């Protein structure tokens, strides 16, 4: 999977990418969005997705074969995304977000990275999420939100 330069960039939080790796009820919707939007992600996204895959395996929600396939799919996804790296400006944005929105730390990093990606101008930018709380916060700061719930 290579990045298609004709696709529009959108910020994808981890919850929206997991269904591209593991078959879930919203996998077909995530696939449709992936055909339209190239992912921009937070630096920690790979760890979050791999954590979700291993948790699903430990909980016996997916088989060993499905786990191997999911990790392989993740490796393929990684080659298609742009990554926002940790930096002081991301940390400062995260600290500001914590004051305003009831988000967990990992979700705060996602939203902060998305704001750095768009230079703090989220109007006409897309944020894709399967997490209602994070989607609500992203909408509140001005993103066009695609919810995969």
Q: Give me the pLDDT at residue 24, please.
A: 96
Q: Say what percent of the chain tops pLDDT 90.
A: 95
User: Count of domains in the chain?
Assistant: 1
pLDDT averaged over every residue in the chain: 96
Q: What is the pLDDT of residue 124?
A: 95
Structure confidence by residue, pLDDT tens digits, 94-127: 999 999 999 999 999 999 999 999 999 999 999 9
CATH number at residue 21: 3.40.50.1010
Confidence of residue 6 (pLDDT cuts 50, 70, 90): confident
Terminal-to-terminal C-alpha distance of the chain? 25
Strands in the chain per DSSP E: 8-12, 37-42, 82-84, 126-129, 144-147
CA distance to 2, 7, 41, 115, per residue, from 10 (Å): 16, 9, 9, 12
Local structure of residue 101 (DSSP, 8 states): S
Domain residues for the domain of 15 are 1-149
Please count the other Cβ atoms lying within 10 Å of the Cβ belonging to residue 14.
25
User: For the segment 41-70, what is each residue's pLDDT rounded down to a tens digit?
Assistant: 999 999 999 999 999 999 999 999 999 999
């Amino acid at each position: 999977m290579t990045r298609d330069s004709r696709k529009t960039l959108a910020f994808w939080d981890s919850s929206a990418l997991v269904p591209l790796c593991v078959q879930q009820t919203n996998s077909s919707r995530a696939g449709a969005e992936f055909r339209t939007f190239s992912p921009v992600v937070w630096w920690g996204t790979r760890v979050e997705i791999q954590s979700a895959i291993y948790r699903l395996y430990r909980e016996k929600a997916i088989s060993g074969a499905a786990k191997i396939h999911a990790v392989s799919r993740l490796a393929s996804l990684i080659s298609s995304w742009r990554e926002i790296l940790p930096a002081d400006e991301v940390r400062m944005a995260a600290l500001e977000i914590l004051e305003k929105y009831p988000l967990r730390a990992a979700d705060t990093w996602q939203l902060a990275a998305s704001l750095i990606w768009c230079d703090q101008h989220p109007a006409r930018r897309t944020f894709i999420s399967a997490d209602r709380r994070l989607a609500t916060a992203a909408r509140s700061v001005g993103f066009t939100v695609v919810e995969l719930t």
